[in-house]
Chain A
Amino acid sequence: MKPIAFDPALCAGCTTIDCLMKCQYLNFCGIDDARTEKLSINEGRDSRVLHECLTCYACQEYCPYDNNPFYLLVERQEEKGLLPAPRPILEEQLRMMAPKGRIEKKAVTAPVVDMCAFPMLTACIRGRLFENASTIVGTDIFCNIMWLHFARNSVIQERVPEAIGKIMAFYMGDAKTNELVCFHDECYGTYTSVAKAYGISVPFKPVHLFDYINRRLDTLSGRINPLNQKIAYQRPCSNRLSPETDRVLDEIFKKIGVERVPRTYDRQKALCCGGVPRAHQRDELADELVEKNISDMQKTGAAYCVFNCPFCMATLGMEVAERGLMPILVSDLVQLALGE
């Protein structure tokens, strides 16, 4: 297994230990305690962090040196056989999401939108926002980043190059565009952050959905009917891998006339939707996260709860709707503003 890009010297010189001190789920008795735990992780020794981590990706964003603290942590979990979820849960999901060899070559035209492994989402690619778009989808091109939640970096390293190879061989190799629009933050995070950390070559140019939509709204500006609504945004864990795109989302919201209401749990303080802790068999924690998220949204008076992650929406959507907010994906919200 290739080592990840990680420099222990950067941690040694770190004065804030933000990766742990900013963690919203673990408590430390001061910075020295956090430093001790971090040093243990770095040196391959046991640490309570390896056992208690929620795998929310946030430390990846908190690190001021881009020193991949989260990827290192997951790698250590795997080395030590510390499974966040029971073995049968992991094994079944590994099989469910394995490449099935059900892929056929097809001609694609720009914009090419990567829908990851989720065919049910291809219906989102419609209207002027995605005019002339081609979609690619299936477990053979699954981005595999989810294994960060399950202490299986090795699967990422094994399957991601294969998926990239298939994307090129079956779709992008003959395309007249080099841009691959990633519908989901996870795919974008894989082809940018994870690929960089593991030295995986990415021959196409990944484009974040927000960048694509933002550009497209410039072209379609004459068609925008501002929505004049307050929205609460549920920032997903995988956006921690491309925090710069969160600012692009603000631009999108501004263009379609919605106000991203200030929440306690947004931006860097975004809370997990609760989906992953359920896989880790921590349902009571998951319940707490769901409640915190939704009551936080309700306090703002927002009419919509906006998701970019389909899994967050699947986890929270029904409960959000029961509590009076309309759950909606970013792309659908934009299409509302475009009258589609």
Chain B
Amino acid sequence: MISGLIQRLEKIVGSRFVSGAAEELYLYSMDPGTMPQAYPDAVALPKTVEEVAQIVRLAGELKVPVVPMGAGLVLSGLTRALRGGIILDMKRMNRIIAVNPMSRYAVVEGGASQGMLQAFLKKHHPSLKHSMPDAPPIATMAGNMCIHGSGHLSLLGGSHSDMLTGMEVVLPTGEIIRTGSCSVSPDWFGRSPLPDLSGLFLGWAGTTGIVTKLGIKLFPNYAFNDMLIFVCEDADAMPDVISRLTGVQVAEDMTPWMTPKPDWAKGFLHINIAFGAHSKKELTFKRNLLQASVRHYIDQKTAGFLPLPPTQKGRFLKVPSPDLARFADLRRGGGFEYVGAMMAIEHFPEAYRAGLAIAEKFQVSYSLGARIIGAGHAMMFFFAYAFNRADDDDVRRASLALEATNEAAINMGGIPWKAEMPVQRQIIERMDPETFALMGRIRSVLDPNGIMNPGNWEK
């Protein structure tokens, strides 16, 4: 413990919002995934951007690491203090600052949660919605944005980082800067036409700065919503199926899933397709377009849409989906982690077969799936494993499966998403050396004291 750290943090945020207590440091030493614990020296919960800046300046002075944290749900241990220091828990900075209904964006603080914005829009702007990830509603928007998350509108709007319109960031040296239109104008409408500095903080695992505000795109919240479940028996057909379904550009979300439970689903490949409209007529039109796009497979009788009566569709239209949470508790004991790998659509069959083989080899409970990003531009293919945290052997097998999955994903040309520290190193090994060198130069310029979440994106 650095002498006087707690007291100096208390002076900045108040004694109620700093802790060095063992039981609290224990809770902040891990996330729900399989990464080993790493203890911070202190936890601080700032309320304002000025407090964040003061903490960062203090950390720089003391050469103490700073690890920004949203809800701590990343599962790959990115918010663990690998070299000790301060965990900056952003949950108190949770205001919804503004909503622009005409230009369809919201400005929120860095600790505002997905659930808060969803509830706020439902109450005050029911004609608008944002792209919710299938994470617990306490997940923060800034956290999800910074890891290039995706969600229920990703087919429409791409990765969540593509829906970012601008940011306020506290740099590792304590300056407060803005990216996007808000750096010039009072409006947070977008990142163009300026040099796009937002990328300095997206995908860096908190090693370049602390996001204290962000603008995010909003979308029409349709009055009429429907969903289809496409079922296919042939993994090799999936890239073409996805290409056809996305090609008509009417769906908001498309999530393939393959799971051994329930029994009836084993061996089949499903795609949940959500779409909405302003009228029933438009909704039917969109459904017909989607169905027509894959008529070729239907006529061959090799695939089709599950007949779901309207009364059974409600659970599939819930946002976020409750199904992943249900699977997460399959083994009881609170353990759940997955490898999500961004990759091109054509690798779907390979990824599916690799997932099955790994689950079989390590005897783990699995659920495979994907979220299609953009109009079929990429996918986040996930290999999810549930395990019982109280069962050491279960945890060990899940860890081995995750390790093997990361390797398989990289080998097939994918890139593990929100990669944990060891996987970051695997990625770096494959990365163009000049690219990695540039990352290092950027980091040393932004963070001369090397205090921001050290241990990440390092060889």
Contact = CB atoms under 8 A, between A and B. Distances in A.
Interface in B213-262: 231-233, 262
B328 to A, nearest CB: 24
Contact of A283 (B233, B291, B312): B291
Interface stretch (A66-74, A90-98, A239-247): A90-98
A83 B301 contact: yes
Interface string B279-308: 000001001100100000110011111110
B302 A88 contact: yes
B125 to A, nearest CB: 25
Nearest to A284: B288
B268 A315 contact: no
A317 B311 CA distance: 8
Nearest to A88: B231
Contacts of B307: 89, 275-276, 278-279
A268 interface: no
A287 interface: yes
Nearest to A87: B301
Interface residues of A, number: 25
A118 interface: no
A314 B307 CA distance: 12
A287 B265 CA distance: 27
B263 interface: yes
A315 B232 contact: no
A281 B268 contact: no
A80 to B, nearest CB: 13
A315 B264 CA distance: 22
A84 to B, nearest CB: 9
A8 interface: no
A311 interface: yes
Given A281-B298, A283-B288, A86 B263 contact: no
A283 B305 CA distance: 10
Nearest to B287: A283
Contacts of A276: 307
A86 B302 contact: yes
B311 A314 contact: yes
Contacts of B288: 283-284
A319 interface: yes
B265 A281 contact: no
Contacts of A281: 291, 298, 304-305
B304 to A, nearest CB: 3
B309 interface: yes
A85 interface: yes
A336 interface: no
A318 interface: yes
A163 B180 CA distance: 67
B268 A88 contact: yes
A89 B268 CA distance: 10
Contacts of A319: 310
Nearest to B307: A279
A96 B305 CA distance: 16
Nearest to A84: B301
Interface in A265-291: 275-276, 278-279, 281, 283-284, 287
Nearest to A85: B304
A279 B309 CA distance: 10
Given A86-B301, A87-B233, A314 B264 contact: no
A311 B309 CA distance: 8
A88 B303 contact: yes
A276 B307 CA distance: 8
A88 B262 CA distance: 15
A284 B292 CA distance: 11
Contact of A87 (B284, B302, B305): B302
B94 to A, nearest CB: 37
B268 A86 contact: no
A85 B287 CA distance: 18
A86 B304 contact: yes
B9 to A, nearest CB: 56
Contacts of A311: 309
Contacts of B306: 89, 92
A315 B309 contact: yes
B355 to A, nearest CB: 19
B175 to A, nearest CB: 56
Contacts of B305: 89, 278, 281, 283
A276 B309 CA distance: 10
A86 B309 contact: no
Interface in A200-237: none
A282 B295 CA distance: 11
B304 A314 contact: no
Contacts of B301: 83, 85-87
B303 A86 contact: yes
A99 to B, nearest CB: 12
Contacts of B297: 86
Contacts of A95: 263-264
A96 B263 CA distance: 8
A87 B298 CA distance: 9
A155 B175 CA distance: 72
Contact of B231 (A92, A96, A314): A92
A105 B264 CA distance: 26
Nearest to B265: A92
26 contacts: A86-B231, A86-B297, A86-B298, A86-B301, A87-B301, A88-B231, A88-B233, A88-B268, A88-B304, A89-B231, A89-B306, A91-B233, A92-B306, A95-B263, A278-B305, A281-B291, A281-B298, A283-B305, A284-B288, A314-B310, A314-B311, A314-B312, A315-B309, A315-B310, A317-B310, A319-B310
Interface of B: 231-233, 262-265, 268, 284, 287-288, 291, 297-298, 301-307, 309-312
List 4 tightest A-B contacts by C-beta distance, closest first: A86-B304, A314-B309, A95-B264, A279-B307
